[in-house]
Chain A
Amino acid sequence: MKSQKEVSWIYFFLGLACFLIPGGVAVFIAYDRGISFAPVLMFAGIVIWGGLFWLFPFIEKKFRKGRNIVTFDERDQLIHKKSVMAGYVVLWIYFVAVCVAAWCIVGPHGSISVNVMPLTLLRGSSFLRLCRVWHP
């Protein structure tokens, strides 16, 4: 169990670096050189990967159904689902908090930079990953 936790932490830091760095780079490339296909594709791929990568063990299980090797049992599924749910709840609360904070800062007639939203989603996805690691 301890080794599983360690592996989970390693995956967390690797995953965080792998999607936060290119995600931030994609947003700043778009800001600096204008919209092109590459940064948009980078951003889309990274956010989708950050938000939906947790489905991978379930898909893997579907493909391994015919074989007798059990790598992801019912208990693992339950823990995995609980952690993902906690992650999504935190992501949702974070998004609502950002919306309310922006509203309070700029006022009801103000406007915000469009770059804030992709960065918010990227940060929210990192919270999702963090919750998945910390959840018991």
Chain B
Amino acid sequence: MVILLLQLFGFFVSNLPVKLITSVITFVLCCIVAVLYLHRSKIAKQGTNQYDERDKSIHKTAALAGYITAFLVLFFTILTVFLKVGPGGSIDIGHLLTIFILGAVGLFFGDSIAVLIQYAWGSKGENS
């Protein structure tokens, strides 16, 4: 969400240094999120006492949900841009980056929501 807000902020600001700083912060945040995601995938592959088959299955399904969300976000963004600009028009190359970031945010958002929902369903009737 912070990445998305920063990206939107970057669009409305015309000052070049501020735009550059916003882009750098966005890039660093994207890297941190990617590293965290890879770290979680590594733990998922190795498997620990706290991370059993059920967790693995939940995270696999959540990743799939994330990809579906990203696909839908990409689809609706592209459709909106196409309808707004018209078939003969052209868009700034910077908008591609925004679409890409929107897709990535959709991926992480869908993944996280799916994990939360699945754990909430799984904990029904559990006392601990």
Which residues from B are CB-within-8-Å of A88? 64, 67-68, 70-71
Segment with Cβ contacts to A, from B4-12, B43-51, B93-101, B114-122: B93-101
Q: Is the CB of A89 within 8 A of B67?
A: yes
Complex interface: chain A residues within 8 A of B82 (CB): 30, 40, 114-115, 117-118
Cβ–Cβ contact B97 & A99, under 8 A: yes
Provide the main secondary structure of the chain B interface.
helix
**Within residues 78 to 113 of chain A, which ones have a CB less than 8 A from any CB in chain B?**
81, 84-85, 88-89, 91-92, 95-96, 99, 102-103, 106-113
In the complex, are the beta carbons of B81 and A114 less than 8 A apart? yes
CB distance from B92 to the nearest CB of A (A): 5
Within 8 A of B (CB), among A26-57: 27, 30-31, 34-35, 40, 43-44, 47-48, 51-52
Contact A81 B93 (CB under 8 A): no
The answer for the CA separation of A38 and B81 in the assembled complex, in Å, is 17
**Neighbour of A111 across the interface among B63, B81, B92, CB < 8 A:** B92
Interface size class of B (residues with CB under 8 A): 20 to 34
B125 CB–A CB distance under 8 Å: no
A16 interface contact, C-beta 8 A = no
Mask: chain B, 70-96; 1 = CB below 8 Å from A; 0 = not: 111011001101110111111111101
A31 with B93: CB separation less than 8 A: no
Q: How far is the CB of B17 from chain A (nearest CB, A)?
A: 16
Docked CA distance A92–B78 (Å): 15
**Given A51-B75, A117-B99, A121-B75, A40:B83 Cβ within 8 A:** yes
Chain A residue numbers with a CB within 8 Å of B100 are 95-96, 99
Pairwise interchain contact B96-A102, C-beta atoms closer than 8 A: yes
Q: Verify B96–A34 contact, CB threshold 8 A.
A: no
The docked-state distance in angstroms from the alpha carbon of A111 to that of B101 is 18
Which residues of chain A come closer than 8 Å to B74, judged between CB atoms? 95, 121
Report Cα–Cα, A96/B107, bound state, in Å.
14
B interface with A by C-beta (< 8 Å): 60-61, 63-64, 67-68, 70-72, 74-75, 78-79, 81-83, 85-94, 96-97, 99-100, 103, 107
Task: List 7 A-B pairs, Cβ < 8 Å.
Answer: A35-B83, A48-B75, A81-B61, A99-B100, A108-B93, A113-B90, A114-B82
Could you list 4 further interchain pairs (A-B, Cβ under 8 angstroms) beyond the known A40-B79, A51-B71, A51-B75?
A: A84-B64, A102-B96, A114-B87, A114-B91
